[in-house]
Chains A and B, each alone.
Chain A
Amino acid sequence: MIPYVLRRLVAVAVLVVGISLVTFALVRMVPGDPVALYYGGMPVSADIEQSLRRQWGLDQPLPVQYLRYLGGVLRGNLGVSLATGRPIMDDLVRRFPATVELTLAGVLLALVVGLPLGVLAALHRNGPVDHLLRIVSLVSLGMPNFWLGLVLIFVFGYHLGWFPPAEGRLAAGIPIPERVTGFYTIDSLLAGDLGAFRSALAQMMAPAITVAMGLVAVVIRMLRAGMLEELGKDYVRTGRSKGLSPRAVYYKHALRNAIIPTITVVSIQIGYLLGGNVLVEAVFAWPGVGLYYINAINALDYNAVIGATLLIAVVFALINLFVDVLNAFIDPRIHYA
């Protein structure tokens, strides 16, 4: 087991270097000059621009710039953001919990809604409920998440009053709770600030629903398939024939077995969602890594773009590793060569 994990970790490290190289090259190819953009397009004399270029190391040949950057990364220094002037690592660490909080909320919502529905679909296989759920799942998979976000904010939020306006993680005037985890929901509870807790939850509702929408169909489908497989197994028939109530058989045994592959798939999806929620963050003005990335691209903030991408890719790779290891643990039949 240990050699396997170590080998995977090495693979992750190699991947990180690869990603940094690809992102570095790509970002440098984006047309435009960050120095010109820094001054907002306003004219500045050439020598002043040159001194700024020197400050930012942009006057060095590209390979040199890359190696210097890589050296910094290996020491944990992702450079300084051109737009905010702050170390990128600091900015990312501050914003990462926002993305994670949103993703986890969405996943939780998807599970809470999807698991029971999946069981329902399996138990009433090919019945009207099953078909209805199938249609709903399909439609939810076809919805662009940014569009759903807009519809939620404005149609359900503004016009129907179900959700507060999209002003970020807390409503105006609510002070940010003392930072322990970076999750406003948890931090506000820890600080005993119920008002902040309520606001944090309220602000998170619409974005979490948007995130969950893409995942719910997967959960329902996976669980349905898993349950059907379990229900066809011998131990179920044996249990029923022995007179065990359906509840005992279905919930306690079949469900438990069926959930594992579902959770596996969902865990992998978390990795995708962390980076894939860029548009959701944009629509809801959610100050996470995704929005940071968009702003960085618009400002040609090279190091910030690479930093954000690296962070997401690394987290994704680590999550995959974690899931694989967990699977190998739970199911020793899996051959992890």
Chain B
Amino acid sequence: MRSEVATVPVPLAARRRFKWNSSLVIGGSIVLLMVFAAVFAPLLTPYDPIKLDIRGRFQAPSTTHWFGTDQYGRDVFTRVLYGARYDLLIAVLAVAFAAGVGTPLGMLAGYFRGWTDVVIMRVMDLLLAFPNILLAMTLAAVLGPSLNNAILAVAIVGIAGYARIAYSATMAASTEVYVEAARALGAPHHRLLLNAILPAILAPIVIRGTLGMGFTILLAAGLGFIGLGAQPPTPEWGAMINEGRNQVILGRWWTSVFPGLAIVLLVTGFNLLGDGLRDALDPRTR
């Protein structure tokens, strides 16, 4: 044990068994299906998502156009498939960014305490005082309406959540005996943070990340809906719902309904996956 102090031992928590369950499987399958659709979209449909065909506009769903066509004659099913790319991209990038920035912040605050804690966590409190959609909208307006800026805006909104989780998990992990011992014996901070604390807090972060993906997609679609996200002709689902808005009342419901259903499916998939992961990694919290 004495010789192992300089190298920090892996905590017990990480060695727990991974319990498979139905939520995990179903959620995972849905997400994988969407990823498949996104990646192989060009092979799954003969139509182009961007090319116009004004004469073929507003065709109802049929055998040639499963989801019908929109106001520019584009096949809605194709656009929904390609749209999976954008919404998945948004989810992954935004969550990665938010977790990537929020987790270290929370870890630093929870580990060093003192002024670091106060400054970082007060700023996080400030971010959390804004309702998500308002903050995202303002950020998107500041940055300018585009897909990339929407991702950034949604990511910034999410940082505080990860910081909070990392903070409390870090504080809990810091009180473990082996960490205190290693600290007392002079192990360097970055070693401790990376090798001892990080693995301990990884589980809740990953769970939060997966659950967060769904929420991120909803937020980004909301931005697309009010025109602050992806711009036409990009087939992002939220923007598509907005474009189809005026058509629904004229009986052409398919332009807005199908993209919405796609969102429901993907978000539900992520939520199931997140629930399943939580049950698999941490069954006590059920």
Q: Assess whether A154 is in contact with B218, with CB atoms less than 8 Å apart.
A: no
Contact with B along A139-173 (1 / 0, CB 8 A): 10111111110110011001100000000000000
A37 on interface, CB distance cutoff 8 Å: no
B226 on interface, CB distance cutoff 8 Å: yes
Q: Assess whether A139 is in contact with B268, with CB atoms less than 8 Å apart.
A: yes
Q: How far is the CB of B119 from chain A (nearest CB, A)?
A: 12
Contact with B along A1-35 (1 / 0, CB 8 A): 00000000000000100110011001101110000
Q: How far is the CA of A324 from the CA of B267 in the complex (A)?
A: 32
Q: Assess whether B142 is in contact with A275, with CB atoms less than 8 Å apart.
A: no
Q: Assess whether B129 is in contact with A154, with CB atoms less than 8 Å apart.
A: no
Among the 9-residue stretches B55-63, B160-168, B177-185, B249-257, the one with 4 or more Cβ atoms under 8 Å from chain A is B249-257
Among the 9-residue stretches A113-121, A198-206, A310-318, the one with 4 or more Cβ atoms under 8 Å from chain B is A310-318
Among the 9-residue stretches A63-71, A188-196, A235-243, A276-284, the one with 4 or more Cβ atoms under 8 Å from chain B is A276-284
Q: Assess whether B129 is in contact with A19, with CB atoms less than 8 Å apart.
A: yes
Most buried by A among B131, B139, B142, B225: B131
A138 on interface, CB distance cutoff 8 Å: yes
Q: How far is the CB of B49 from chain A (nearest CB, A)?
A: 20
Q: Assess whether A144 is in contact with B260, with CB atoms less than 8 Å apart.
A: yes
Give the residues in chain A near B129, CB-CB below 8 Å.
15, 18-19, 313, 316-317
Give the residues in chain A near B225, CB-CB below 8 Å.
144, 146-147, 279
Within 8 A of A (CB), among B241-278: 241, 245, 248-249, 251, 253, 256-257, 259-260, 263-268, 271-272
For B269, the closest partner residue in chain A by CB is A142
CB contact under 8 A between A297 and B130, given known A144-B263, A150-B245, A279-B225: no
Residue from the list A23, A145, A317 in contact with B138, Cβ < 8 A: A23
Q: How far is the CA of A29 from the CA of B149 in the complex (A)?
A: 14
Q: How far is the CB of A116 from chain B (nearest CB, A)?
A: 23
Interface size class of A (residues with CB under 8 A): 35 or more
A274 on interface, CB distance cutoff 8 Å: yes
Give the residues in chain A near B265, CB-CB below 8 Å.
142
A197 on interface, CB distance cutoff 8 Å: no
Residue from the list B126, B141, B260 in contact with A151, Cβ < 8 A: B260
Give the residues in chain A near B125, CB-CB below 8 Å.
15
For B266, the closest partner residue in chain A by CB is A142
A305 on interface, CB distance cutoff 8 Å: yes
A309 on interface, CB distance cutoff 8 Å: yes
B133 on interface, CB distance cutoff 8 Å: yes
Q: Assess whether A18 is in contact with B126, with CB atoms less than 8 Å apart.
A: yes
Give the residues in chain A near B226, CB-CB below 8 Å.
279, 282, 294
Q: Assess whether B221 is in contact with A297, with CB atoms less than 8 Å apart.
A: no
Q: How far is the CA of A45 from the CA of B137 in the complex (A)?
A: 32
Q: Assess whether B142 is in contact with A29, with CB atoms less than 8 Å apart.
A: yes
Q: How far is the CB of A236 from chain B (nearest CB, A)?
A: 20
Q: Assess whether A154 is in contact with B249, with CB atoms less than 8 Å apart.
A: yes
CB contact under 8 A between A142 and B131, given known A19-B126, A30-B142, A305-B138: no
Q: Assess whether A141 is in contact with B131, with CB atoms less than 8 Å apart.
A: no
Q: What would 23 A/B residue contacts be, using CB atoms closer than 8 Å?
A: A15-B125, A19-B129, A30-B142, A31-B144, A139-B264, A142-B214, A142-B263, A142-B267, A143-B263, A144-B263, A146-B222, A146-B225, A146-B241, A147-B263, A148-B260, A154-B248, A155-B253, A159-B251, A275-B133, A276-B131, A276-B132, A279-B222, A297-B141
